[in-house]
Structure 1
Amino acid sequence: MVVALIIACEVGFWVLLAAGLALRYLAKRPRLGAAVLLCEPVLELVLLVVTTVDLKNGAAPDWKHGLAALYIGYTVAYGHYTVKWLDGHAAHRLAGGPKPPGAGYGTARAVHEWKLWARTVAAAAVALGLLRAAVWYVGDAGDVSSLEATQYAALRVVGIHALIAVAYTLWPKKAPAGAAERPAPVKADG
């Protein structure tokens, strides 16, 4: 049941995202589109509640519960970023907005990769917190080795992502011939 719910949450995320962007840019209903996009965190809340109830009802903690924690951590850290990124591209493609800046080259790309790594650390921290809470919740009543293994998997992902960021720092991505290195995007006030 937990795996089916994780799949449903992922499908729901993309359906809500598509509906929200369609309402914003195709139907010209930006407030309604924003309201639909704000419903996305409800999916993770439902997944958290169902996973907790599943453990409370005596389900043996296994990889499915660990996967739910990883999924929630990922969506907490990357969900808003993904929505914002796709919103920028939808505004460009569907509403004639400016083209969103890319990750860039050289130092700008390395900085971008380190920011993504920080998001991965946040995702892992959320997942580790949920997994640790599940281990304490189950206590001595069950085998929590799969939950602990999932914690180590989350830490390995953080380490691998750090190696990727280090690689972009040591061997920066070069701009194509004729293109200058783009500076890091400047955020507007407000």
Structure 2
Amino acid sequence: MLERAGADGLLVFPPNSWALAHADDCVIAHHRHIRDATTVPLMLYAAPVGAGAMAYASSLLEQLVADPRFVAIKEGSWEVATYEQNLRLIRKLRAEFVVLGSGDEHLLTSYLVGSAGSQVSLACVVPELVVSLWNAAEAGDWEQARAAHEKLYPLAVAIYRDAPGGRATVRLKACLKLLGRLSCDAARPPQPPATSNELRALEQALRIAGAR
């Protein structure tokens, strides 16, 4: 359906139930079913290391990368050492494979280690700042890249890291409403709306990012 609607490519996520446990054969079959039902280029997803078994082991990632229909990965391990480990493995297997960093809090580190870009939800809030970080990194201007990172980091923490967990979508929508880009920031139950403490933290982080 997505392909018929005009999608140029598809990102294949693992089911949330895999966080508990799964068989490797199940993972391979999941990706092959999607591969065989489509013709567009496909992207893998590397889940956060804190997401249990959703994060693929190196041996499994190697099998997935070997399929030529998959041409890129949203590298969301959210942990620098694992990011670099996966990057090195993938480059060894297929040098042309596109690795996109997805750890909003450590984009600068991803760009230093190596990345073809990034796919991050933070870009929906401050796209110009994310792009400026990438452009500076591409130009090797690490002083400018660090300056952009300093503006981005507090916002990434306020959205993704601050307790309680699992609130990123609510906080992203709250940011978009604060910036006047969204008329309603309501989240689907059971998620409650952003609290006053969350809104204050987001407001402050948006000011540091230069978005307010």
Higher helix share goes to which structure? 1
Higher strand share goes to which structure? 2
Q: Same fold (TM over 0.5)?
A: no
* TM-score normalised by the chain length of structure 1: 0.30
* TM-score normalised by the chain length of structure 2: 0.28
Q: Which has the higher contact order (CA 8 A, sep 6+)?
A: 1
